[in-house]
Amino acid sequence: MFGHLADPDGPNNALSQVLYGLALRHGWGCEPDQDKAVSYLSAAAANSASIESEALEAGIKKGGAAKGELTLAIFELANCFRNGWGVKKDPVAARQYYETAANLGDTDAMNEAAWCYLEGFGGKKDKFVAATYYRLAEEKGSKTMGNSWIWKDKYNPR
């Protein structure tokens, strides 16, 4: 069903594209096809961004018409680049995608972006930026055990 709804030449539904992309990536109810999964996740991100843009142009100031699908698609594309699922492993791209999804409000992406900065995955280590992302995630309800260090004064916003 998701395959039909996700069809770019058919209904072209962004949420279905995300879900079908995940099913293809992991082989949930179908043969795994990681290359095809990336194409559906990319289509979902593009479609969601287009819907958001149209909503904002129509005067909907807060957006949100497809924000959930957009952030989920971007987050899952980050996972593809991090793990080499359907694309060549690319830590720099993974970190950029995590940051984009984090800046759109996704708490899982906030935690992953923080981890990237903490470990130096995809760029230089930066505990200050890591603490900033971990704090954002925690303020939105996603607390990680063992992260009390993020509240030390030296990691306060400058």
| Distance of alpha carbon 34 from alpha carbon 87, whole angstroms | 8
Among 33, 66, 89, residue at a domain's last position? 89
The total number of structural domains in the chain stands at 2
| Distance of alpha carbon 21 from alpha carbon 34, whole angstroms | 8
Q: Are residues 117 and 48 both part of a single domain?
A: no
90 Rama sector, left if φ>0, alpha if ψ -120 to 50, beta otherwise: beta
Q: Are residues 43 and 107 both part of a single domain?
A: no
Q: Give the number of residues written for the chain.
A: 158
Q: Indicate whether 61 pLDDT > 60.
A: no
Look up the pTM and report it.
0.87
Domain that holds residue 133: 91-158
Residues 38-56: pLDDT tens digits? 999 999 998 887 766 665 6
Binned at pLDDT 50, 70 and 90, residue 14 comes out as: confident
Q: Among 85, 10, 1, which residue's Cα sits nearest to residue 42? A: 85
Q: Are residues 24 and 84 both part of a single domain?
A: yes
Binned at pLDDT 50, 70 and 90, residue 58 comes out as: low
Q: Are residues 33 and 103 both part of a single domain?
A: no
Q: Are residues 78 and 18 both part of a single domain?
A: yes
CB atoms within 10 A of CB 17: 29
Q: Indicate whether 65 pLDDT > 60.
A: no
